[in-house]
Amino acid sequence: MLDYIIYTDGGYSSSNNVGSAAYVILESDGQTLFKQDSFVLRNETSQRAELKAILAAVEALPERCCARVCTDYLAATLTLGKAPRRKNQPDMDLLMQYRQLVRRKKLLIELKWVRSHKGQMWNEHCDNLCTEALSLAEST
């Protein structure tokens, strides 16, 4: 049984080399907000911003819970939680951090890919948080 449902998003602006990441954690009913956050990243790629959003959300979970992470970053659903295919795999540091975090906190995580910009309320909300953080970072 799920304890939490998470939506994550990452963004990047190549013109300023700045990115952002955001997450929304809901109670198991899928409606009650448990926690949300967004943050700015400097000198990162859009892929790393997506992965860092997932990492931050998982870090915010209580220990020994079960959660579904909904992300529009398909590569995350294909690589997180699985054995690396090669030692020099891109973003290996973040993949290892994710595995260690899940193991340390004794979490059960299900990863689910969701299509972006298709009107899913919480996915859109998370995208808006990410966009706002990116806009703030670009203006400073």
Task: Please give the residue range of the domain that contains residue 92.
Answer: 4-139
Q: How confident is the model at residue 86 (pLDDT cuts 50, 70, 90)?
A: low
- The pLDDT assigned to 36 comes to 98
Q: What is the DSSP letter of 106?
A: T
What pLDDT is stored for residue 33 in this prediction? 96
Q: Which tokens is 59 given?
A: 């870090």
Number of domains in the chain: 1
Angle subtended at Cα 32 by Cα 76 and Cα 118, rounded to the nearest 5 degrees: 50
Q: What's the pLDDT tens digit per position in 54-78?
A: 999 999 999 999 999 999 999 888 8
Report the CATH number that the domain containing residue 22 is assigned in CATH.
3.30.420.10
- Among candidate residues 70, 53, 81, 76, the one with its CA nearest the CA of residue 112: 70
- Taking residues 120-138, report their average pLDDT: 90
